[in-house]
C-alpha cells in the first residue's frame, strides 16, 4: 500500500514541561473553577467516545442527527490534529490488505471485491463541514446538489488498497446508495479522485428507490454472485453495507460518525 500523506500519520506531541511548581496554602477559586471546567470537558469527551462506540458497533441505530454535545468532538475526530479519523481509516485499509494478501485467489477472473462509495472511497467531509458535522441531520437534496459537483476527495488509504486489488487481478464492484440519475457525476468524481477500471458501478434504479439500503445492497450482491463472481471482500462505512445476505467472505467497516443509513 502506498504510504498515507504525512498529515494523516504524523504524531504531534505537546510540549513536555518540567513538573509544575508546588502550590502552597489554599487553592484559589479560580483554580477550582478551572478544574471544574476541565472535568466537564473530560466528561463530554468520554460521552462522545461512548456515543461513537455505540455508532460504530451498530448498538445505536436509526439515529438521524449527531447530538449537539457531540458536534465539536465529531469535528475534532474528523479534522483535528493528526486526524483520528484518518488513522482509523488507515487501520481498516491495513487490515484489508493483510487479509487479501492471505487469500488464495483462483486466478480465473471471478474473484471480486465490493466497495461502497461515500465515506468508503470518497469523502463527503467538505459537505458536512458546512452542515455542522452531522449536527444538522442529513439533507438529501443538498447532498445530491453537492455530489453533482463531483468534487469529493478520495480517502487516501482506501484508494491505495483499491489499487492493490487491481494489481492482484480482482474485479471491483462499486455498490452505492446513490440514484441512477447521479451516474455521470459519480463516475466523473471517481475518476478525478483516482479510481478507475471497476467492473461495474451499481446504483439505485427507480424500482430500488423505496427499498432499505440493506435489502437493496443484498439483492445487488446476490446478483453479482449469480453472475458467477465470488465476493471475497466487502467494504463499507454503514452496517447496511455489510449485513443482510450475500455479504462476501469477509467484511470491513470504515468509521462514520456523520450519518446513519438503514
pLDDT in tens, 146-155: 999 999 999 9
Percent of the chain with pLDDT over 70: 85
- Residue 122, pLDDT > 70, answer yes
- Residue 25, pLDDT > 60, answer no
Count Cβ atoms below 10 Å from residue 202 Cβ, excluding itself. Answer: 22
Mean pLDDT of the region 55-70: 96
- Residue 61, pLDDT > 90, answer yes
pTM of the model: 0.84
Output the pLDDT for position 136: 95
Determine the Cα–Cα distance for residues 259 and 254; give it in Å rounded to an integer: 13
- Residue 8, pLDDT > 70, answer no
Closest CA to 177 of 111, 251, 225, 236: 236
- CATH number for the domain whose boundaries are 89-253: 3.40.50.1000
- Residue 222, pLDDT > 50, answer yes
Amino acid at each position: 500500500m502506498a504510504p498515507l500523506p504525512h498529515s494523516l500519520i504524523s504524531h504531534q506531541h505537546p510540549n513536555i514541561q518540567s513538573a509544575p511548581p508546588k502550590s502552597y496554602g489554599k487553592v484559589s477559586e479560580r483554580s477550582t473553577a478551572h478544574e471544574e471546567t476541565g472535568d466537564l470537558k473530560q466528561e463530554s469527551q468520554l460521552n462522545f467516545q461512548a456515543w461513537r462506540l455505540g455508532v460504530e458497533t451498530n448498538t445505536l441505530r436509526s439515529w438521524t442527527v449527531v447530538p449537539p454535545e457531540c458536534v465539536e468532538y465529531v469535528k475534532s475526530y474528523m479534522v483535528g490534529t493528526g486526524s483520528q479519523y484518518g488513522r482509523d481509516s488507515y487501520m481498516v485499509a491495513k487490515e484489508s490488505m493483510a487479509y487479501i494478501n492471505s487469500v488464495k485467489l483462483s486466478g480465473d477472473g471471478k474473484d471480486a471485491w465490493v466497495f461502497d462509495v461515500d465515506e468508503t472511497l470518497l469523502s463527503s467531509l467538505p459537505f458536512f463541514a458546512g452542515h455542522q458535522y452531522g449536527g444538522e441531520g442529513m439533507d438529501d437534496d443538498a447532498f445530491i446538489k453537492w455530489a453533482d459537483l463531483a468534487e469529493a476527495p478520495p480517502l487516501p488509504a482506501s484508494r491505495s488498497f483499491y489499487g492493490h486489488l487491481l494489481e492482484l487481478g480482482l474485479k471491483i464492484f462499486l455498490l452505492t446508495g446513490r440514484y441512477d440519475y447521479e451516474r455521470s457525476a459519480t463516475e466523473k468524481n471517481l475518476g478525478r479522485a483516482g479510481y478507475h477500471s471497476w467492473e461495474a458501478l451499481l446504483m439505485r434504479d427507480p424500482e430500488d428507490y423505496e427499498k432499505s439500503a440493506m435489502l437493496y445492497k443484498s439483492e445487488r450482491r446476490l446478483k453479482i454472485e449469480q453472475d458467477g463472481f465470488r465476493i471475497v471482500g466487502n467494504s463499507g462505512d454503514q452496517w447496511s453495507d455489510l449485513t443482510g445476505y450475500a455479504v462476501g467472505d469477509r467484511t470491513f467497516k470504515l468509521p462514520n460518525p456523520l450519518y446513519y443509513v438503514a
